[in-house]
Each structure stands twice: as structure tokens, then as C-alpha cells.
Structure 1
Amino acid sequence: MISIKFPVLHKKIADWRWLVSKCLSLLICLLIIGMQPAWAGINDDNYDGNMFVVYAGNGSLVPPRQTLAQSLAEHKPTVLAFYVDDSRDCKEYAIVISRVQEFYGQAAEIMPISVDTIPNKKSYEPTEPGYYYTGGVPQVVVLNQSGKVVLNKQGQVPFEEIDDRLREVFDLLPRTESVQLKRRSFNEFSSELAK
């Protein structure tokens, strides 16, 4: 039987703890030195996470509730919004798509489509988002109830232009002849619910 004296064992444990603490300190220093701060923002092309959540405060847009094929089968007007999360123009545009959903989300299908998720194929069917994508972002495509394209534009298409097309699709009065669409306050919502 091997007998180890207590003071020798105590010294070995103390040496082991000292070695572990020094190794952890070194590892932490290396991690801190190697880390780069995240300097992403709305005015750059860096990835910050899903842009609809980060810049429009609207996580309900992604993923879309339905596929394009389902929306077309139900004869539901559809707004396709092609984007990439690391594009300055798309980040700035996220709030417009959120606003479209705010006013038309109950009657139309609002579908943000990350172009990174479009499969790379030679040809697409009209029931696939790739059929409508023209190669730039942001891009907005509005389809009416029969699946006909009534708006297809690249760039930061103003809300008013999308609104005009959707008013035609839903046979609503033009903006010049109707009440201006505006966001209601929370108190207006809660007072209507109380009635």
C-alpha cells in the first residue's frame, strides 16, 4: 500500500489549481483579444440578424404564414418582398413592408422572401418565388387574386405606390378620394374592444 503524506498531497492539489487558473486566465485573454466588436447597423451591409425583427420590430413577417403556391391556390392577393439580411437598402426598407402588412395583412398575404433561400434552378414555376425574382434587392412584386403581376419593381418602392396597386386589387377608392391611412394609437384599439 502506498502512503502519501498529507502535506505532499496538499501541495500537488495547490499546484494543479494554480496551473488551471493560469490556463483559464490565458484562454480568457486570448478570447478577449481575438474578439471583434459588432459594429453592424442600419447604415451598413453587415448582418445583424433578421432585419424585420431588428429594424422593423416585426417578427410576425418571417417566416411567411403560407407558401406562394398556397396563396395562389386560395386566390389571395400576395405581396412578395425579396431581400437579404445584410443589405443596407433592405434594412432601411423593412419598415415599409411592415407597414404594408399593418394595413393589408388580413386581406393579402405579405411574403418576405430571403433570396438566399431561393433554390438555384434553370427555370421556376409561377407558384415559386424564384419565378418573379429579377436579381436585385429590395424587390417588390404584387400579385392580384388571379395571380397576375400588378407591380414589379426593384429598389425602395414607396409605400404609397404599393398602396395604390393594392387599392386597385381590392377595388378601394384611390388615396385622393378616401380617408388617409394612418396608424391608430393603442388607446383607440382598446376603446373599440371595450364597446
Structure 2
Amino acid sequence: MRVLQVQKFFNKQRLSNIWQTIGQKSLLSLLIGAIALFCWVAPAWANLDDDRYDGNMFVIYAGNGSLVPPSTSLADSLKQQRPAIVVFYVDDSRDCKQYAIIVSRMQEYYGRAASIIPISVDALPVKDRYEPNEPGYYYQGGVPQTVIFDQEGKVRLNEVGIIAYEKADDVLREIFNLLPRSESVELKRRTLNEFNTELSQ
């Protein structure tokens, strides 16, 4: 009698497990179908030439997720007497989207020697007065805005709008006492094929 009850219990358990598995598979199939339908009906297009929010612009348009959030603050950089590049931006601005690749290029060449600090204007605290070690002190109301500080905390460049990489590079070369671009070999990244060829040899 007891053996029969144990068998019935295990049969009920097995049946319950089967129904759970079928239910989970059906639910998963339904979910996959809904996602596929949504993607088919409403495709997402990122566009460099509009003022629409597409997501983190540094990831989407510069392929660089390491810029946001910044690895250091302006206050810390000034305290350490480290040059800093502060860039004010918003993710839903065509100018900022187009400027993202230039900011990423600044990080590529100067990221080890200078602090690269992108600041979303939406994240600036609303205050009546800012201190000189706070980003809000330098914000002029437009985006993108680039502010470059030297080792002593002196502002060496402060411009609103898209600036050419070369303009920032000239200022940074002065700060780091590097040769002017006209007298030095331009640094270029290796192409993917060159890198792959080296690895395979």
C-alpha cells in the first residue's frame, strides 16, 4: 500500500515537471515571437544626423564605452595636477553625436597622460554657485563644449561647438611640451589586416 502511494506521488511529480517544462517552452516561444514581431514592426535606427536619443552616443557613434562614466572627476584631476579634458554633451544632439568620435580620438592619444571627463549636461547639479573645481563652473550653456586644463589647473581652451581634433591636439601638444604636428610623425593606428597578419606570422 505504501509503495503504491509513493509511486502515485512520483507520477504526480513527474507529470507536474512535464507540464512545467511544456509551459516554460511555450512561454519562451511566445516571448521570442513577440520580440521578433516587435523588431520587425519597429526597427531601431541610430542616426548621426538628428537630435533624437539613440542611447549612449560614445558607444554607438565612437565605439567607445570606456568614456562614460568618466574614470575620474575634475576635482580629483585638479588635485593630482593632471591635465584634463572636460567635454559637456547631451546624448540627443546631432553635434554631440558627431563630436563623440573626436573625443574618443583625444582619449586614444592622450588618455594615459590626461583625464578625459565627459559630462552629461543633464547630470549637472542645479546650483546658484559652483566652485572652480566643479564642472558646472565652466559650463556656458551650449553643447558640445570642450574645456582643456593644464597641470596647474589653468584653462587653456574653452570652446562651444564641434572643434577639429587638430585644434585640441595643438593645445595638448603645448601642455605636454611635444613637437608641433608639422615637425613630428603623425601617429596612426594599424589597420585590422596589418594587426591580423602580424599575429598569424
Q: Does the alignment reach a TM-score above 0.5?
A: yes
Of 164, 177, 187 in structure 2, the residue corresponding to residue 181 of structure 1 is 187
Q: Give 1:71 deviation, angstroms.
A: 0.6
RMSD: 2.5
**Is there any run of 5+ residues in structure 1 with no aligned partner, and where?**
1-23
- Cα deviation, 1:125-162, whole Å, max 9, x if unaligned, reads 11111011100001100000010000000111100000
- Deviation of 1:123 (Å): 1.1
How many residues are treated as equivalent by the alignment? 163
Can you give the 5+ residue segments of structure 2 that lack an aligned partner in the other structure? 1-29
Counting only pairs closer than 5 Å after superposition, residues 16-95 of structure 1 correspond to structure 2 as 38-95=44-101
Q: TM-score, normalised by structure 1?
A: 0.77
Distance 1:144 1:191 in 2: 38
Residue correspondence of structure 1 range 90-109 to structure 2 within 5 A: 90-109=96-115
Residue matched to 2:19: none
The one-letter amino acid of 2:64's match is N
| Superposition deviation, residue 180 in structure 1 | 1.3
Q: Does 1:168 align with 2:154?
A: no
Residue 77 to residue 189, structure 1, CA distance change in 2 (3 Å):
farther
TM-score, scaled to structure 2: 0.74
**2:113 alignment partner, SS class:** coil
Give identity over the alignment, percent. 61
CA distance 1:127–1:38, shift in 2 (3 Å)? same
Q: CA deviation at 1:185?
A: 3.5
* Cα deviations by residue, 1:93-126 (Å, 9 ceiling, x for unpaired): 1000000000000000011110001111111111
Aligned to 1:141: 147
**2:18 aligns to what?**
none
| 4+ residue segments displaced more than 3 Å | 35-40, 185-192
Which residue type is aligned with residue 102 of structure 2? V
